[in-house]
Structure 1
């Protein structure tokens, strides 16, 4: 056990002897229904932009309060996949390239001009870039995972769903918390909060902070350093001012910064018969450089020469006004976000001195890529929310957002060259409304409507010395563009209370995700103006990528019975997508380029179930499961995946392989040809497990006096997935399951918990890629080296968490 682990444990213990801070210092809630009788607690959510009991909302929602977040040890965004079976995350070594996927639908794109299909909202502020969501979660009161299109109330970047994160508000009495966590894989976390009233009034403050350090999980044998490390810290503050009994203003701000000394994937497999060579160069074979590297799912070793570094910095400011106007609340939320990200990583994934070979020793090392991002966003929302318990309820509002993202990118220095600078902008305004009416028969009819208008813009400058007008020479007016679009989205539902605490509902919703410019390497004027496609060298674009539309149908049951001790929620859904936006990789002039596609049509359908049972005060069981069938129903013009065989030579004729629709004819000299286009209609979407489930049990037991112990067990399982939109069979992750457990004790204000993650050390990948572009030898000597992103949870580790709390 490391010295740092022991020191942090001792520091945490000493902290308990001093006035400290509390684990859960949210404002004291009113007594929760069911709590006194030992039944399940009620959870209040804002899934429809107003506070409602989770069980009364005709929307499929997984809601996790602060207790559930702690019970499931959810500290980072990717941890949510353990508690929400319809949610998966595809990870890479750079957070902007991560993808949040709901019911099989997500957005994976390098372009800074593409919105996510799953919106992430933090205290009513939608994040600009999805990468912002992957900061550590701190001081969170509740997370709501809303499934299916939510565009009517949450906007155009919610065509597949919403993750709504609500942080803790100031408390009405002085309270605080301190928590320290240390794990055997050298992961350390410290969290603290302090909250209380100001001047004995309804005004109050809240401060929260965290520090996180992780050694990393990839050992670079070339330098001896550990990569994929993390060192991060963050601050969050809220100040609530009660202007009068009916008016309050809450001003908030947050800042977080994460740094990494280097990132890397590891080699999962090398296809049989492959002879990998960097850039196909016979003088640069891979195998001699793999000393100490054993390919496999558990491989933690790599050899790279360009470790790079990463910084991720986010700041937010917000103000929230709530005014009780008598029968209706006026809520105004103003927000500003600033996100900066910079990275450098190894492109060829080796420590082979390929540059020395190419330059005769003038330049040594490997191929690297780097580039900063900078996003800024201003948002303003106004809404009127009805209050009271009458049969008619409504939400009426308006929303405005103005955001921009700058990005520079460099790859090289003497091979696979790329160098460009770009900016993407978006300005949108919307009006929305939703109304509910409950009939005397306990039938509730709901309808919502949203009108959205948007203008997007792009600027792209190719900084390479060989840039031409067709490749966006600096200042080329053909590489500046704007596009406007107006759209109406809507939702309607009907729900019926068939018995006390039992509701059935049905809904239909229309979702939308706006036009997007494919701002990435290979950008050319045709990506702005489709009429230019095919008129010049390299003009292979198709104008701005078309808007994505979705129509969803949902039937659901929400129920509680057996004296509020059992909750069962069921949902069946079918969603059709048209012009779904997705990215795929193609090889152009031996360099990887990523192209944003409009997949013709998609359909995702399935069933979700959530069960909670609390038979008494000390025992609780939770289970959730999803069956998701997410397919591309029409994608006839998909590119071929790397080294997909097109035609085969049989001595007299060439025959296209199954699925391949376009490939050059094979010859005796080149008996293998590569598929240029294929028909992916009917294929499954990437990283969309057909089956996924989670089981959990939580038991409290006495330890004498007022002290108690807690045992928590959890198991999550998912079926096989493929990570490639184009169906590369080598990028498949087999089904796997993870078992976690913890045991702890509460001794007055002190709580100590011992835990184990991934008890059976089941290794799995959160992302897979094929190194064919940089290590293959083309048609004559194909080579497939499969790289994996191994999340921290794919290894077994043990840990301890110590907490101290005081006040409410």
Structure 2
């Protein structure tokens, strides 16, 4: 209770300061208030503007100034991503408070944690409590949610339950990635960037924008490709954890004078590196694991292995392939806008894992998945001249996953072959509305009702579990929000709200030894109470956003790993999370921008019994007590161009990866990144960049394979390189 009082007191104290300076801010700030009511013609069009510190987002399915939205959001523009060299979804967490990413495979499989809401489930059939959306299309597959970020217009990280407009499986929040659409400008445009770095790293990305009919029809083609040698030194063979990925996107946009717009996107991504090199630890006498040897000793020399060294006999591959197409149609109907988003995604995934982490043929797992996803969102948004506006819609989603996982044990002398088909179907109806009942005072709220159906078919494990009958679940649950927003001036706003998040039931995809382990985890629910202040002060030189929240979390789903062949999907009873967030952007002089973020969490299980042990009071998985981020950008004219310097850093506290709060944990980390570049007015540019300057080696994921063996993954080491680019 004391920590909750401290958080509330901090918010109240800083809020008093913000309100005390309201008169000065209003007198000096430009009048650029957004009425928040204009429905976006297309939620994936160019809506971002940084002039005067404004960023326009579509977190509420309409174009609004970020500072007017009563949601805790960190937004990244395409320019921001380029300055920070953020090229994958796993890197977004560098600059967002209370947001982190863990990885048990490679960057194609990020597991997001927002405000301590996460999942430890590494099975391919699971659904994350953080929803990932590309151009408003939900991506259910964990293997497709970490695709390379290229030609991106902006990214919005929405913290807190987003169950009204984004739907189920957004208990923790949502990551919304918006790619660039054709501009239909008068001239052909584009860019090309090339990078080369240590360890034979090479990266290229670019785009070509071609207007076919000015202001009517245009196309855009964008691509990215990256390669490198392995980042984990294999002392007995080929190095592991290589980089090998490429992606291509074609976009076409049409619009007419009748307020009709159609945007088609067709994409293809291919990631095919070697398998990762896990760092396996033994906790038996002398550091011995269940293989009978110490996996951290070089078998050739008898000397200890380095932090990113191992001896591996499995030289396999990771294969993450995705193909997608989505069509966004919008039609203006006077004060209304009708939007339709249709999508299909197909993917395949393979991950060959050297689980024992030695050059012994003790345990290898091949995870494989073929998936298909279909979705349709149809909504109607208003842009009335009065105090009332709404968004209402119908939603359909279906995904099919065919899972085949093979376990090769004791020199392939014993094999477990697991296979099944999982089908999930969702139907939803939703409505969200705002009502300004007094000058600057707005009541907002929404409700979504979701009907979920799951089927687990043809489940078997040869030779331990015979072919099973179909297992089902049927959920029908509401989610929603209600809140009050108060605008004191054009640049100072406060809000308070209640929201409810919902995550549908899930099947245990890790059953291996007994049909009794093929269980269904109940739905999870999160009740959120949040208050916040968003402000821009001193002629918008200072942006200060604060939020405090309390979560009542029930039936959190997570994996209970007893051994590698005994894995259960369970519900956690109850948990509570209290937290505070602060984000600051300071622009003290022309060309200089300083930002910082702070996230504080007290996240604990209040009711949890696991394997007969009462774990109530333990810290929740992947919920660090603190996250701190900072960044600095400085740009100055030199000759016929501009020189730019960027630096950013992240500090994250200790985290646990298991509810037992045992050795499956990651210590506190600090990561630092920098970039120096020169861009000429002629369009060419050159730069130097470096990532993980501190050579942070804190593990990105950990799981106990058995009582004396632990599987962990490592972050990329220090990386640096040269870049050249050209824009036209």
If the length of structure 2 is used for normalisation, what is the TM-score? 0.89
Over the aligned positions, Cα root-mean-square deviation in angstroms equals: 2.2
- Structure 2 residue 536 is matched with structure 1 residue 560: yes
* Partner SS for 1:133: coil
> 1:443, CA displacement in angstroms?
0.2
- Count of residue correspondences: 680
Within 5 Å, give how 1:334-413 maps onto structure 2: 334-352=342-360, 365-387=361-383, 390-412=386-408
Contact 2:388 2:434 in 1 (8 A): yes
Within 5 Å, give how 1:193-592 maps onto structure 2: 193-223=207-237, 225-267=238-280, 270-271=282-283, 273-274=285-286, 276=288, 278-279=290-291, 290-291=299-300, 299-352=307-360, 365-387=361-383, 390-412=386-408, 414=412, 417-465=415-463, 467=464, 471=465, 473-474=466-467, 476-477=468-469, 480-522=470-512, 524-525=514-515, 539-540=516-517, 543-587=519-563, 592=565
Contact 2:84 2:675 in 1 (8 A): no
Contact 2:104 2:122 in 1 (8 A): no
- Structure 2 residue 691 is matched with structure 1 residue 767: no
> 1:486, CA displacement in angstroms?
0.8
Find the structure with the greater CA-based Rg: 1
- Structure 2 residue 584 is matched with structure 1 residue 615: no
Q: 1:111 to 1:218 in 2, by over 3 A?
A: closer
Q: 1:264 to 1:521 in 2, by over 3 A?
A: farther
The CA distance in 2 between the partners of 1:712 and 1:417, in whole Å, is: 51
> 1:346, CA displacement in angstroms?
1.6
Contact 1:342 1:373 in 2 (8 A): yes
The CA distance in 2 between the partners of 1:523 and 1:719, in whole Å, is: 37
Contact 1:450 1:489 in 2 (8 A): yes
The CA distance in 2 between the partners of 1:797 and 1:249, in whole Å, is: 41
Residue segments in structure 2 that go unaligned for 5+ positions in a row? 1-43
* Partner SS for 1:134: coil
Map Cα deviations across residues 487-532 of structure 1 (whole Å, 9 max, x no partner). Answer: 111100101012231000001001111111112233755xxxxxxx
Counterpart residue number, 2:204: 190
Counterpart residue number, 1:91: 103
Residue segments in structure 1 that go unaligned for 5+ positions in a row? 1-25, 353-364, 526-538, 640-676, 777-783
Q: Which moved more, 1:508-517 or 1:796-805?
A: 796-805
The CA distance in 1 between the partners of 2:109 and 2:80, in whole Å, is: 29
Q: 1:286 to 1:29 in 2, by over 3 A?
A: closer
Counterpart residue number, 2:571: 598
Q: 1:759 to 1:110 in 2, by over 3 A?
A: closer
The CA distance in 2 between the partners of 1:110 and 1:272, in whole Å, is: 25
Q: Which has the higher strand share?
A: 2
The CA distance in 2 between the partners of 1:426 and 1:153, in whole Å, is: 20
The CA distance in 2 between the partners of 1:78 and 1:579, in whole Å, is: 27
The CA distance in 2 between the partners of 1:424 and 1:346, in whole Å, is: 26
Choose which of 666, 677, 680 in structure 2 pairs with 1:747. 680
Choose which of 610, 632, 635 in structure 2 pairs with 1:638. 610
* Partner SS for 1:67: helix
> 1:77, CA displacement in angstroms?
0.6
The CA distance in 2 between the partners of 1:798 and 1:487, in whole Å, is: 49
Within 5 Å, give how 1:95-106 maps onto structure 2: 98-106=110-118
Contact 1:393 1:437 in 2 (8 A): yes
The CA distance in 2 between the partners of 1:181 and 1:389, in whole Å, is: 50
The CA distance in 1 between the partners of 2:493 and 2:630, in whole Å, is: 24
Map Cα deviations across residues 718-742 of structure 1 (whole Å, 9 max, x no partner). Answer: 11222223221x2332222122222
The CA distance in 2 between the partners of 1:435 and 1:151, in whole Å, is: 14
The CA distance in 1 between the partners of 2:617 and 2:399, in whole Å, is: 37
Counterpart residue number, 1:686: 621
The CA distance in 2 between the partners of 1:186 and 1:292, in whole Å, is: 27
* Partner SS for 1:198: strand
> 1:200, CA displacement in angstroms?
2.2
Contact 1:110 1:594 in 2 (8 A): no
Contact 2:421 2:457 in 1 (8 A): yes
Contact 2:672 2:694 in 1 (8 A): yes
Counterpart residue number, 2:37: none
The CA distance in 2 between the partners of 1:92 and 1:285, in whole Å, is: 21
The CA distance in 2 between the partners of 1:421 and 1:313, in whole Å, is: 20
The CA distance in 1 between the partners of 2:106 and 2:168, in whole Å, is: 25
Contact 2:675 2:687 in 1 (8 A): yes
Contact 1:516 1:545 in 2 (8 A): yes
Q: 1:285 to 1:578 in 2, by over 3 A?
A: closer
